[in-house]
């Protein structure tokens, strides 16, 4: 497979971990507060800017087979964009982690979440 995405459950992460070394690039997405993030849009383009992959992650992990060369990896989440570059050589297993500020709605002390009264 040219790429695989997932890693939501522990079983998925375990099975992806087993095949991880067969892929040139491993991308992981997470919130700065710690939890993994899914639904991140990832674009990979070659040095000339030609798109190689454009996908929305099913989970926090993306494994990609890439030919030798230089690539720009762009990750978009909740209106925020990050870019990183990598250079793939023969036998490489590069790892990239994208951390995003994830907005978490929290209740103030004493405030109740009132969803049943509607």
pTM for the model: 0.81
Six-digit token pair at 91? 């036998």
Sheet containing strand 69-77, edge to edge, reads: 51-56, 41-46, 69-77, 80-88
Position 118 confidence tier, pLDDT thresholds 50, 70, 90: very low
Does pLDDT of 115 surpass 90? no
Q: How far apart are CA 39 and CA 57, in angstroms?
A: 5
- Residues 4-32: what's their mean pLDDT? 91
């Amino acid at each position: 497979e040219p790429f695989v995405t997932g890693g939501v459950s522990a079983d998925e992460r375990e099975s992806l971990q087993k095949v991880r070394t067969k892929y040139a690039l491993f991308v992981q997405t997470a919130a700065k507060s710690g939890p993994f993030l899914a639904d991140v849009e990832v674009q990979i383009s070659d040095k000339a800017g030609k798109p190689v992959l454009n996908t929305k992650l099913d989970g926090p992990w993306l494994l990609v087979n890439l030919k030798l060369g230089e690539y720009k990896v762009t990750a978009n989440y909740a209106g925020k964009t990050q870019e990183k570059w990598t250079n793939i050589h023969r036998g490489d297993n590069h790892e990239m982690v994208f951390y995003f500020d994830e907005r978490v709605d929290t209740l103030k002390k004493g405030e109740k979440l009132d969803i049943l009264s509607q």
